[in-house]
Amino acid sequence: MKKFLLIFMMGIVASSFVPTAFGHGLGGETHPPVTLDGRDVILSIDISPSVFDVEDPERYITINLKNAKSEAAVEHVTYAFEMIKDGKQIFRKLFHDDLGNLTIKTIYDNSNEIKVIGDKSPAIESWMRTATEPVIMTGPIFDSGGLYEYKVEILTVDSDFNFLDKRMELVGAISLAEHNTFQVTDSKENTHNVNVISYFDSVNNFKFDSNMISFSMPFDWNQDFEQLSVVHQEVRIAPEFSELLHTKYEAKVNDILLPAEVVTIDDYSLDGRTVHMVLNREDLNQIKEHAIQKSDSQMYFELGPGQGDGFPLEAVTPDYRYRVFLSWEPEVITPGEDVTFFVKTDEIFTDKTNKNIEYGIELIQNENTIFNKRVSGSVNTGKTDSFQYNFSPENVGTIKFRISEIEGFSLANVNFLVAINEPENAKFPIVLESVSASNPTNGKYLVDLTWFPNILSLGESEFIMSFYQKDTGLTTGDIAYDFVLIKNGTEIHRKSGLATGGGTFENFVFVEKEAGDVTIRIENIGGTDEYVEIAVNVAPEFPLGVSIILAIILISIVVLSKTKYVTNFQIKT
């Protein structure tokens, strides 16, 4: 599932003061071999750390020149080094290193002046390390993430005084990843952090709308893509932000839907979910003509839920031994219903012999394990292992589905994030149509049912009932009934009553042992064998007057016939 992203510099050709086109390297670049003074050499340049952090003002620039064949360092190198950001020169200085391995320590400050600390070369006015410290440069350097262009001219090699007749100039660009944290508010007024890591340029105009995020980034659509490797954006979603956790995502750039393979999901590398959007050169060329119609200087990203089946989710264990696939039915999980999880496991680098295996399954929420079991399964068979679980209302949110120690290997683990959703609203009263045990097709009554509190929990509840003639829609007048509560197939309450004028109510106090799934049954309506039946969920907590308990009630209207036709109603507060 993961794309392991290695970004390389493309096509640098040496010439005398003739700059070549540049590529975009992530934190560093290694140029292809070029001929210098009769030998092939390789230049590499790096910035560390490669992710911009406003709290960390220090960076290290390293420039190395080595023999392409022997990999030995080229000594006594003098560099003319220039760095440019957004078309503006940050600095241009001369540097020298006797061993060819130049290190520059940069420190960002609020000044407007570049200052250099170090010794001077005896041959030319160029900066070099002291006996104890690298060259130190302070000033407005690396004040943001994004793309930093550079030019490196090689003036001397092998000796401080061996000045080249034709100076070599190498041109490139390095992407300093920018880490942005944005706060968003979900539909329940909860606040979450969404992190966007840009490996190309600065992110602007971040927005969150329902289940979708959008942002923009400077990008020159008129450039030559042959000199560009990839554009990579990384979105990190907190594990509790269930509204943004989808089984499938789709991404757009400048309103153009991107191919599915551009977007990958990683639930293992970090705590939470990481969604990668990676556009290679071919992707950019395919959308360029249409993208430039919206803007020739910006990329406008949109990331939201994908259409259709996003299954199976896929992950690779850290030891690269197994690839694990996960899916479940129903795809939208709500409390109170049986969910079937399907797990398929394949070995990656072995002979892939079909065999039986064992692994652990653990369901974790808020760092608490709610389910843990060692199960038997199979590998390389193409078949899926399955098991069922029924989530309770207090599990609404995000669950970490962890598969661990496949075949007993300590590093053979993967994580997936699973969202447990609140059911959609259903409005009271709920209308139930009666059926007859002796003649299921001939029910004569409609029953309106409402209860208070709308979130059933431990303590007293009131059930309000109104009875109507099905054919006329008129109230029944006085009518007898039996009000019954059933848990796990056993009656926990029964009371006979008379609905005066067709309306009445019943009260019941739920205690701890009665929490969970309960069936409400109203039977013997009007002295007949007709009845209605509803499955509800009683939350295992008392409401405390403050909305700190988000209990979810799943209601299934069960209209019994020969086949027990079932209609689902769902309620949330």
- Report in angstroms the alpha-carbon separations of 22 from 9, 340, 356, 478: 8, 52, 52, 88
The number of C-alpha atoms within 13 Å of 411 and in the hemisphere containing its C-beta is: 7
Give the pLDDT mean for 60-87.
91
Backbone angles phi, psi at 304, to 5 degrees: -150, -175
Is the pLDDT assigned to residue 149 strictly greater than 70?
A: yes
Tokens of 42: 């390789």
Residue 520's pLDDT band (boundaries 50, 70, 90)?
Answer: very high
Lookup: tokens for 11: 């096509």
- What's the chain's Rg over C-alpha atoms? 34
- The single-letter DSSP state of residue 290 is H
Specify the pLDDT at position 201.
Answer: 80
Compute CA distances 38 → 17, 65, 98, 167, whole Å: 18, 15, 20, 13
pLDDT in tens, 553-564: 222 322 322 222
Counting residues of the chain whose pLDDT is more than 90, the rounded percentage is 34
Which of 127-131, 271-275, 366-370 has the highest average model confidence (pLDDT)?
127-131
pLDDT band at 145 (very low <50, low <70, confident <90, very high): confident
Query: Token digits for 430?
Result: 């709920």
Q: What's the CATH number of domain 25-176, 2.60.40, 1.20.58, 3.30.379, 3.30.70?
A: 2.60.40
- Whole-prediction pTM: 0.52
3-class DSSP assignment, residue 292: helix
Instruction: Report residue 360's pLDDT band, with 50, 70 and 90 as the boundaries.
Output: very high
> Quick one: average pLDDT of 235-252?
86
Q: What is the pLDDT of residue 287?
A: 93
- Residue position matching structure tokens 């620039």: 61
pLDDT for the residue numbered 15 = 29
Distance (Å) of CA 421 to CA 205, 384, 397, 458, 570: 29, 25, 7, 22, 11
The residue with greater pLDDT, 441 or 488, is 488
The class level of CATH for 430-571 reads: mainly beta
- Of 1, 3, 25, 2, give the one whose Cα is nearest residue 12: 25
Find which of 21-30, 204-213, 265-274, 545-554 is predicted with most confidence, using mean pLDDT. Answer: 204-213
Calculate the average pLDDT of the chain: 82
| Average confidence (pLDDT) over 528-550 | 63
**Least confident among 120-129, 143-152, 530-539, 542-551:** 542-551
Per-residue pLDDT tens over the stretch 81-138: 999 987 899 999 999 999 888 999 999 998 889 999 999 998 888 999 999 999 999 9
Q: What pLDDT was estimated at residue 30?
A: 82
- Weakest-pLDDT range from 187-191, 216-220, 557-561: 557-561
Three-class secondary structure of residue 106 per DSSP: strand
User: What are the distances in angstroms from CA 212 to CA 202, 209, 295, 423, 536?
Assistant: 20, 5, 21, 20, 33
Q: Say which residue, 8 or 498, is predicted with more confidence.
A: 498
Average pLDDT on 263-290 reads 86
If you average pLDDT over residues 444-453, what whole number do you get? 88
- Find tokens 């680098």 and name the residue: 349
Is the pLDDT at 71 greater than 70? The verdict is: yes
Continuous H helices in 115-219: none
Residue 534, helix vs strand vs coil: strand
Predicted confidence (pLDDT) per residue in 522-537, tens digit: 999 999 999 998 888 8
Residues 6+ apart with CB under 8 A from 235: 194, 195, 196, 197, 213, 274, 275, 277, 303
**Identical fold at 25-176 and 186-305?**
yes
Closest by alpha carbon to 199, among 180, 218, 175, 215? 175
Q: How far is CA 13 from CA 67, 101, 230, in A?
A: 16, 21, 21
Name the one residue in this structure whose structure tokens are 């003509």.
289
pLDDT of residue 19: 35
Q: Where are the domains of the chain?
A: 25-176, 186-305, 313-420, 430-571
- pLDDT category at 312 given cuts 50, 70, 90 is confident
Q: Mean pLDDT over residues 492-505, rounded?
A: 89
Cβ of 161: how many Cβ atoms within 10 Å?
A: 11
Q: Which comes out higher in pLDDT, residue 557 or 239?
A: 239
Task: Identify the residue with better confidence: 421 or 35.
Answer: 35
Task: Decide if pLDDT at 2 tops 60.
Answer: no
- The pLDDT of residue 165 is above 80: yes
**Averaged pLDDT for residues 256-268:** 85
Residue 9: pLDDT band with limits 50, 70, 90:
very low
User: What average pLDDT score do residues 508-512 get?
Assistant: 90
pLDDT greater than 70 at residue 310: no
262 vs 265: CA distance, rounded Å: 10
Q: Which pLDDT belongs to residue 3?
A: 31
Q: What is the number of alpha carbons within 13 Å of residue 531 lying toward its C-beta? A: 20
Give the SS3 label for residue 421. coil
Alpha helices in 344-480 (DSSP H): none
Predicted pLDDT of residue 168: 85
370-389 pLDDT, tens digit per residue, is 999 999 998 888 888 988 99
Token look-up 């309000």 returns 464
Is the pLDDT assigned to residue 414 strictly greater than 80?
Answer: yes
Residue 288 reports pLDDT greater than 80: yes
Q: Which fold has domain 186-305?
A: Immunoglobulin-like (2.60.40)
How high is the pLDDT of residue 560?
29
Tell me the fold of 313-420. Immunoglobulin-like (2.60.40)
What is each CA distance from 41 to 49, 81, 162, 269, in whole angstroms? 26, 18, 17, 37
pLDDT in tens, 168-188: 888 888 888 888 899 999 887
Type of residue at 242: S
Please state, in angstroms and rounded to a whole number, the distance separating the CA atoms of residues 138 and 115.
Answer: 5
- 466 and 489 Cβ atoms separated by less than 8 Å: no
For the chain, what percentages of helix, strand and coil (3-state, to nearest 5) are there?
Answer: 5, 55, 40
Per-residue pLDDT band for 21 (boundaries 50, 70, 90) equals: very low
The pLDDT assigned to 419 comes to: 83
